[in-house]
Amino acid sequence: MKTVFDNYDCIHTFAQQNQEFGRTPTRSIFFEGTKIYSYGYHYLLGKFIDKDTILINDEGYSISTSKHISILIGATSQYKRFYTTKTDIDYLHNHILSYLKTKLSKARKPQIYLSEIYLLNETLNTFLEYTKQKTKAKKNKKYRDIVNFVNKLQRNEKTSIEALQQYRKKELEQKKKQDAKQLKEKLSKFQAYKIDYFRIGKNDYLRISEDGAKIETSQGVKIDIGEAKRYLRVLNSGANMRGETISNFVTQSFDKFLKIGCHTFEPTEIKRISKLLNNEQK
């Protein structure tokens, strides 16, 4: 069984949860069972709470660890995910009651900070209920401080809920436009071999490696081109693909979108790569 991987394959193998141990050559990333680490046991990068849920430590303190976080987020898109910056009571106490509270007191547009405070409070409580820690949390003074502050805001807030909802709607529309522009730029660079990894939105993209030996995904995963061709032949034959494997990844669905492990591909992307492979054979 293979246990030494590059960064991408190490994290993706961990995400599949089908082997107990793995590492990179320098142990910059390694995993043991349900836990994965970045540069040592002092930084727990992520851990599975249960078979369907992972807690990701997104308090990155270096550029390289931040990159590990980004890869892990992409590699676990098939699971329910929680993040320490949205579930750790000590972190949220400081972020909400020091940083956001100060920002809110000076803001010309308080909706920005109100929206973030309410969302963080909601996410924290969802996590505590999911992990059955709510009763214990109520004994924590910092948690009570957060709850009391949010309740006070909601009672006295002058901005209506409708206004907040309208603000969020506009914010999402703006983000959608920005993502579309960024996706176009990143995809162009990916296909030109200027970058090896990007993650924007829910979908993933494919390319043939420069040496023609592999199919590469926009999440940095490399699949032997022979294995990719075999998989695509089965897919294009109209067979039932649920459970079909390719490398370490298992097909979850193949109707509207092709979902393989943490990857999601639109039918147009599969047709495009199939056409490229067919042209190569001619």
pLDDT at position 164 is: 60
Rg (CA), the chain: 22
Q: Would you list the domain boundaries of the chain?
A: 7-83, 88-159, 202-281
């047709």: which residue's tokens?
Answer: 271
Counting as low any pLDDT under 50, the low residues of the chain are 160
Tokens of 140: 């924590």
pLDDT for 8 equals 94
Please answer whether residues 251 and 263 qualify as being in contact, where contact means their C-beta atoms are separated by less than 8 angstroms.
no
Res 225: pLDDT: 94
Q: Please write the tens of the pLDDT for every residue from 69-109.
A: 999 999 999 999 999 999 999 999 999 999 998 888 887 88
List pLDDT tens digits, range 4-21: 999 999 999 999 999 999
What is the pTM (predicted TM-score) of this model?
0.79
Euclidean distance between CA atoms 23 and 5, whole angstroms: 6
The strand pairing partners of 264, in sequence order, are: 259
